[in-house]
Amino acid sequence: PTNHLQVEGSCNIWRADCRAKGGSPGFKVAILGAAGGIGQPLAMLMKMNPLVSILHLYDVVNSPGVTSDISHMDTGAVVRGFLGQQQLEDALTGMDLVVIPAGVPRKPGMTRDDLFNINAGIVKTLCEGIAKCCPNAIVNVISNPVNSTVPIAAEVFKKAGTFDPERLLGVTMLDVVRANTFVAEVLGLDPREVNVPVVGGHAGVTILPLLSQVKPPCSFTQEEIEYLTSRIQNGGTEVVEAKAGAGSATLSMAYAAVKFADACLRGLRGDAGVVECAFVSSQVTELPFFASKVRLGRNGVEEIYALGPLNAHERVGLEKAKKELASSIEKGVSFVGK
């Protein structure tokens, strides 16, 4: 007997628990904050991912309902729910990948940094659990401000002696997803054919789309560059304002989070050539963390790519991004140091 919300195993004539325990192929994934605006559609999409064999849904509220609901989907993953701090360790034990969308979202007029006071403590507590129960898991941090919450996670893991820079990734995929969409609109292409590297971080001017490196190769007018850079940097705010107090991006974020988690899982499986942008511990610049293209493999981040040639506009953007990033990173580091 276990104390988690045993949706699939509440009757002892069922064999699902055996399937979960015994060698069904696939990875074990936990979502922390699974009942939230991002967490719910993220849980649904992860339940549809054939690489996932076990899906743990943890939250401090409402996880039983979400778990019951998701568990009725006739896809492979076995779903288990966990409610409240006392079940965090059970939620994390044995996980290969932990995705963290826990924490408060922005309201109109707020920056991501305004979320720091609440979300820093949430991410710290959750990472202490990860260090204790699944120190080898790949960790995807979605909770904002990502530019500070990833350094917080790193400091927690360092204190616990479990820090592995290859396994900690801040999720900036939504910036790439938005960039692909907006650039495709301007070029009149299918967004699926477009790939825009977005580097730096995940807030305002730290979001630096490299429009000179768009695939397929193309050129933009100065007006297009300014429109696209501004729209990509302010995409999150566009959604916050449209939702008018009801939160920030959740559906596109869940889509981006699953796209990114799937890339991490394909890397873990040993697929070759899995490359995505992420905010990671990095030596690409003089800053200790930076988002850029990374190759994902069996150990997590196996290679971090240099930024490549930047044009004059991008070089100016890079300096602005680094200045803001430096203080956001420092804020995260000193939060745990306290």
CB of 102 to ligand NAI, least distance (A): 3
CB of 48 to ligand NAI, least distance (A): 19
Is 135 among the residues that bind ligand NAI (CB under 6 A)? no
Q: Which two tokens stand for residue 204?
A: 């305002």
Greatest C-alpha distance within the chain: 67
Is 174 among the residues that bind ligand NAI (CB under 6 A)? yes
> What does each C-alpha distance from 181 to 37, 79, 175, 193, 231 come to in angstroms?
22, 32, 10, 10, 11
Cα within 13 Å of Cα(29), Cβ side: 33
Cα within 13 Å of Cα(231), Cβ side: 16
The window from 67-75, 95-103, 182-190, 220-228 that contacts ligand NAI (CB under 6 A) reads: 95-103
The three-class DSSP label of residue 275 is: strand
Q: Which of residues 52, 59, 151, 277 is near ligand NAI by CB under 6 A? A: 59
Active-site position among 4, 56, 72, 202 = 202
Q: Total binding residues for ligand NAI by CB under 6 A?
A: 33
Of the two residues 89 and 271, which places its CB atom closer to ligand NAI in the complex? 89
Q: What is the DSSP letter of 180?
A: H
Q: Are strands 138-141 and 97-100 parallel, antiparallel or unpaired?
A: parallel
Q: Please state the separation of Cα 204 from the chain's center in Å.
A: 17
Please tell me whether 43 is known to bind a ligand: no
Please tell me whether 204 is known to bind a ligand: no
Is 240 among the residues that bind ligand NAI (CB under 6 A)? no
Between residue 186 and residue 205, which ones bind ligand NAI under the rule CB under 6 A?
A: 202
Is 328 among the residues that bind ligand NAI (CB under 6 A)? no
| Location of structure tokens 């009757």 | 11
Question: CB of 7 within 8 A of CB of 71?
Answer: yes
Is 209 among the residues that bind ligand NAI (CB under 6 A)? no
Is 143 among the residues that bind ligand NAI (CB under 6 A)? yes
Cα–Cα distance, 306 to 254 (Å, whole number): 28
Q: At what angle do helices 146-160 and 312-337 cross, to 10 degrees?
A: 40
Which residue of this chain has its Cβ atom nearest to ligand NAI in the complex? 36
SS3 assignment for 71-89: HCCCCCCEEEEEECHHHHH
Please tell me whether 295 is known to bind a ligand: no
Please tell me whether 298 is known to bind a ligand: no
Between residue 3 and residue 42, which ones bind ligand NAI under the rule CB under 6 A?
A: 32-33, 35-39
Q: Is 56 a catalytic residue?
A: no
The window from 115-123, 129-137, 220-228, 292-300 that contacts ligand NAI (CB under 6 A) reads: 115-123
Q: Which of residues 213, 250, 281, 292 is near ligand NAI by CB under 6 A? A: 250
Cα–Cα distance, 232 to 91 (Å, whole number): 35
Please tell me whether 143 is known to bind a ligand: yes
CB of 67 to ligand NAI, least distance (A): 13
Residues in contact with 330: Cβ distance below 8 Å, sequence separation at least 6, in sequence order: none
Is 115 among the residues that bind ligand NAI (CB under 6 A)? yes
Q: Which of residues 16, 20, 44, 104 is near ligand NAI by CB under 6 A? A: 104
Please tell me whether 161 is known to bind a ligand: no
Kindly report the length of the chain: 338
CB of 253 to ligand NAI, least distance (A): 4
**Which of 22, 32, 52, 200 has the alpha carbon at shortest distance from 100?**
32
Cα–Cα distance, 136 to 97 (Å, whole number): 9
Catalytic residues: 202
What residues are designated binding site for NAD(+)? 33-39, 59, 119, 142-144, 253
* Positions in the binding site for ligand NAI (CB under 6 A): 32-33, 35-39, 59-61, 101-106, 115, 119, 122, 125-126, 142-144, 146, 171, 174, 202, 247-250, 253
What residues are designated binding site for substrate? 106, 112, 144, 178
